[in-house]
Amino acid sequence: MTVIMALTSLLVCSDAQAVQVLSRILQDLGITVEACGDLRMAHARLCDRHFDALLVDCKDEPDALDLIAQARKNPANQDVVAIAIVSGRNEVRGIFAKGANFILYKPISRERAAHSMRAACSLMQSERRTRPRIPVQAESSIAYAGKENVPAALVDLGEDGIAFRSDSKLPPYCKVYFQFALPGNTSLVRLSGEVMWQDSSGRVGIRFAQVPRTSRRVLNDWLQANLPSASEATLEAPQDSTNVDDPGSRLSAGLGLLSVSAADRRNLSRHACCLGAEVYRANSSVATRCTLIDIGLGGCYLETTETFPSGTALEILVRTDDLRLRIHGKVLGTHPGFGMGVEFSLRTDEHRKQVQQLIACAQAEPKLST
C-alpha cells in the first residue's frame, strides 16, 4: 500500500488575523500548519525538521530574508517553497532575488491568497497528471499582460491544458491568449488559459480557462485522432528543473503581475484586478459590459466577448461603492471572443488622478455596483 505523506508548512507571522486566514487556507488544501510568531524559534524549527512550505512575514525584512536563506542552506529544507508576506513598504524585487517563490500582500485577502496557495501547493506536490498529454509541434501566437503576437512553440496538449516554450518569462498569475492551428488541421484554435508553472528552460504550463465551442470541438477531434495507447500516453508531471542555488530563476507566482526579473516587467506596472465596467464606442450610447482584469497608468485589459477593431476610440465607465469614473482610451489589440487591450488617453492631471484612484480601488478590492 502506498502511503502519501501530508504536506507540511511553517507559518512565521505575529499577525493573528493573517495567521487565522492562512492557516484555514492551508488546512483546506490538506497542508499541515505549524504557526510560529518568533523568528528565533522558527530558525530552530527549520534546523529540526523538513517543511514543504515556509510562509514568513517580512515586517522585519532583513531577518525574514535571513530565515529564507537559512532554509535554503539546510539540506532538509533547500527545496522549501518560500512565501513572503509583504506590505507596500517592502522591496518585492529584492525579496524575489533573495529566494522567495511567492508573494502575498497585506492585508491578506482570502480569495487571492487561496489562489496563490493553490499554485504553491501544485509546486509542492509531485503527483503525476491524471490526463495524458500528447506531444505536438506547432507554432502559436500568444498575448498576455499588454504584449501582443508573441511567438511560442507548442510542446504538448491535453484536454485541460497546454505547454509551450517561450523566449520570455511570463508574469505569474496572468491570463494567456492563444491562436494556433494544429498539425494536419486548417481550423484556427483560439482560447485562453492561466499560467500554472514555468521552468528555467522556458517551458510554460497553462491550464485552460475559456475555450469557445468551435475551438473545443477542434481540440477534441485532434486529441482523439492522436491519442496513443495507454502504455504510450505521456503522464509525466512538470518538473521544476531550476537550480536551487539560483532562486531568482525559480518558479514564482504572486498577486498582480509581478515577475522575478525586472526585465520581464512592463515599463508601466500593471495591477491585477477584477472590476466590472461599461464600455462605449465614441459617439455611441450603447454600453458593452466588460470585466477589467488589469490596469496601470498606461492602459488596461478588458475581458469581453464583444471586441472592437484596433484604433477604436472608447470611453470606459467604472462604478464602485465610492467612485464613478470615466476614462478615455483606444483599442490597441483584440482577441476575438476574449477581450481587448486598451491604451489610456490621459490629457490632463485630472485624467491621471482618476486612473490612480481606479488603481487604488483595484488594489483595495472594492465591491462593485455595476
Q: Residue 238: its pLDDT value, please?
A: 37
pLDDT classification of 326: cutoffs 50, 70, 90: confident
pLDDT classification of 319: cutoffs 50, 70, 90: confident
Crossing angle of helices 61-73 and 39-48, in 10° steps, is 10
Q: What is the pLDDT of residues 198-209, one digit of tens each?
A: 776 788 888 787
Stretch 288-312: mean pLDDT: 84
Return the higher-pLDDT residue of 21 and 119. 21
Helix then strand count (H, E) for the chain reads 7, 17
141 close to 150: Cβ distance less than 8 angstroms:
yes
Stretch 37-46: mean pLDDT: 89
| Least trusted range by pLDDT, from 201-210, 235-244, 311-320 | 235-244
Max Cα-Cα span within the chain: 69
- Give the Cα separation of 292 and 275 in Å (integer): 5
Stretch 136-163: mean pLDDT: 87
Residues 6+ apart with CB under 8 A from 83: 53, 54, 55, 56, 100, 101, 102, 103, 104, 116, 117, 120
Mean pLDDT score of the chain: 76
Q: Which of 80, 81, 104 is nearest to 92 (CA)?
A: 104
Stretch 149-168: mean pLDDT: 87
Q: Residue 152: its pLDDT value, please?
A: 92
C-alpha cell at 357: 484612484
Stretch 254-278: mean pLDDT: 48
Q: Residue 4: its pLDDT value, please?
A: 35
Predicted confidence (pLDDT) at residue 2 exceeds the cutoff of 50: no
Beta bridge partners of 3: none
Crossing angle of helices 16-28 and 110-124, in 10° steps, is 50
Q: Residue 131: its pLDDT value, please?
A: 53
Return the higher-pLDDT residue of 248 and 99. 99
- Give the Cα separation of 161 and 180 in Å (integer): 14
pLDDT classification of 367: cutoffs 50, 70, 90: very low
Backbone Cα Rg of the chain: 22
- Predicted model pTM: 0.39
C-alpha cell at 232: 504510450
**DSSP structural state of residue 101:** -
Helix (H, G, I), strand (E, B) or coil at 77: coil
Q: Which of 189, 327, 329, 343 is nearest to 267 (CA)?
A: 343
Q: Residue 249: its pLDDT value, please?
A: 31
Side chain identity, residue 324: R
Predicted confidence (pLDDT) at residue 19 exceeds the cutoff of 90: yes
In this structure, what are the phi and psi dihedrals at residue 12, rounded to the nearest 5 degrees? Answer: -105, 100
| Least trusted range by pLDDT, from 98-102, 159-163, 172-176, 216-220 | 172-176
- Give the Cα separation of 352 and 72 in Å (integer): 43
Return the higher-pLDDT residue of 349 and 43. 43
